[in-house]
Amino acid sequence: MHSFSRIAVVGLGYIGLPTAAVFAENGVEVVGIDVNPDVVASINQGRPHFGEPNLDALVRRVVEGGKLRATTDVEPAEAFIIAVPTPLRGHGEGAQPDLTYVEAAARAVAPVLAAGNLVILESTSPVGTTERMAAILAELRPDLTFPQQKGEMAAVQVAHCPERVLPGRILEEVVNNARVIGGMTRKCAQRALSLYRIVVRGECRVTNARTAELAKLTENAYRDVNIAFANELSFICDRLKVNVWELIAVANLHPRVNILSPGPGVGGHCIAVDPWFIVATNPDEAKLIRAARLINDAKPAFVCAKVRERAAALKRPVIACLGLSYKKDVDDLRESPAVEIVRRLAHEGVGELLVVEPHISRLPRELEECGLALHDFDLAMERANVVLLLVDHMSFLQVDRDVLKDKFVIDTRGAW
């Protein structure tokens, strides 16, 4: 038997809910805590409030089995996993991480903490956030001792174990990915390790909290920089009239070259955001990381210019905008470059826009406010004279080539 029989997960979003459900599936009693009563009600009926493969069935099973229960009130537990958002305030240069949700979670957990408890921060955070969380806990609970005060002798253990799962594959990756377990002390790390061992089959690498914080940011900055390289090539190729996808396929024949794919920009809640957390703490050192962000952020305007150019050649441009999510086969619109492109086109009044996104049932408000509506794929393809492929959803790739024959096609993903 493992040493945790009851844990609490604070924040039941894309990471917290799957994490809670997987622990529950492994026999741990899990209390899920969220400030949103609608989310709590939905989960208690066995229904996740967002789409993710296989999550519906799992949540239903563990809720019906009595292993997962959601509530808006924090309850005592042996371990607390905090998985709340750490958004970026502002855009581009000068944007700053907003840690108010982490701080609020720490304040919520503090009153129910007891000696022997473990508090883990899973949210992606700038370096120093775990220490800040521990400082809040210590301030609110002077009757307990924390690692920054008593080191290995502390009554409460604190660690940072960043989530690293890929939306669309969360349930698989939460179990199989390697985990970085960053303890404020060695004992903190060992205790966190024993918790994750209940569910994680991948390697668990123990380190300190600051290294774990920077590791997560580094992973996403690494990917952002590599995508920026591909996007920069797409700008260069456009000027030189070279097909960028063919170029990359040819260059990648070299055994030590592996260039990623250019696209309409970089979206999602992590890669487009996390590198700024590094720039925010190290503005003088993070030169390449900043440049990569700016290159990727410049891509939507470039795509819009291409569409404008095409539309200008037509008397009555009708543009099918295919896909809104930040990447293929998910319903997640966070930081999506496709949404930004459609919004810009609408504001600029470029043609009639027919938006297609099979993974959602309602347009985000910012697009509804532009007077746009969701369209059926076949009808949009029938009416459009320009087809703008923004997301390489599987269903779009199966389109009959004849349908595209007489249309201007702008394929931002190199998928057709």
Cα 293 to Cα 225: distance, rounded to the nearest angstrom: 8
Q: Which is nearer to ligand SAJ, 48 or 267 (CB)?
A: 267
Among 57, 166, 236, 301, the residue binding ligand SAJ under the rule CB under 6 A is 166
Whether residue 56 contacts residue 47, with contact meaning beta carbons closer than 8 Å, is answered with: yes
**Of the residues 216, 299, 304, 321, which is catalytic?**
216
Among 4, 326, 377, 396, the residue binding ligand SAJ under the rule CB under 6 A is 326
Q: How far is the CB of 415 from ligand SAJ (least distance, A)?
A: 11
Of the candidate spans 112-120, 164-172, 234-242, 346-354, the one that interacts with ligand SAJ by CB under 6 A turns out to be 164-172
Q: How far is the CB of 183 from ligand SAJ (least distance, A)?
A: 21
Q: What track of x and - describes contact with ligand SAJ for positions 75 through 114 (by CB under 6 A)?
A: ----------------------------------------
Q: How far is the CB of 325 from ligand SAJ (least distance, A)?
A: 9
Whether residue 147 contacts residue 184, with contact meaning beta carbons closer than 8 Å, is answered with: yes
Query: Residue 353: which of 319, 380, 325 has the closest Cα?
Result: 319
Supply the DSSP symbol for 335: T
Instruction: List beta partners, residue 355.
Output: 321, 374
Tell me whether residue 216 is one of the annotated catalytic residues: yes
Q: Which is nearer to ligand SAJ, 205 or 223 (CB)?
A: 223
By CB under 6 A, tell whether 261 contacts ligand SAJ: yes
Q: What is the helix (H) or strand (E) element at residue 365, kind and residue range?
A: helix 365-368
Tell me whether residue 270 is one of the annotated catalytic residues: yes
By CB under 6 A, tell whether 260 contacts ligand SAJ: yes
What three-state secondary structure class fits 200? Answer: coil
Q: What is the helix (H) or strand (E) element at residue 295, kind and residue range?
A: helix 287-297
Whether residue 195 contacts residue 183, with contact meaning beta carbons closer than 8 Å, is answered with: no
Whether residue 151 contacts residue 114, with contact meaning beta carbons closer than 8 Å, is answered with: no
Among 29, 98, 131, 219, the residue binding ligand SAJ under the rule CB under 6 A is 219
Phi and psi, residue 244, nearest 5°: -65, -35
Q: What is the helix (H) or strand (E) element at residue 320, kind and residue range?
A: strand 318-322
Q: Which is nearer to ligand SAJ, 323 or 351 (CB)?
A: 323
Q: Which is nearer to ligand SAJ, 227 or 292 (CB)?
A: 227
Strands 6-10 and 29-33, by their bridges, are parallel
- The maximal CA–CA distance of the chain, rounded, in angstroms, is 76
* Beta-carbon count within 10 A of 313 CB: 9
Q: How far is the CB of 71 from ligand SAJ (least distance, A)?
A: 25
Residues 267 to 286 in contact with ligand SAJ, rule: CB under 6 A? 267-268, 270-271
CA-CA-CA-CA torsion sign (388, 390, 394, 395): negative
Cα distances from 113 to residues 108, 161, 233, 331, in angstroms, run 10, 19, 52, 37
Of the candidate spans 101-109, 129-137, 162-170, 182-190, the one that interacts with ligand SAJ by CB under 6 A turns out to be 162-170
Q: How far is the CB of 104 from ligand SAJ (least distance, A)?
A: 21
Q: Which is nearer to ligand SAJ, 210 or 328 (CB)?
A: 328
| Catalytic (active-site) positions | 216, 270
The residue ranges that bind ligand SAJ (CB under 6 A) are: 124, 163-167, 219-220, 223, 227, 260-261, 263, 266-268, 270-271, 326-327
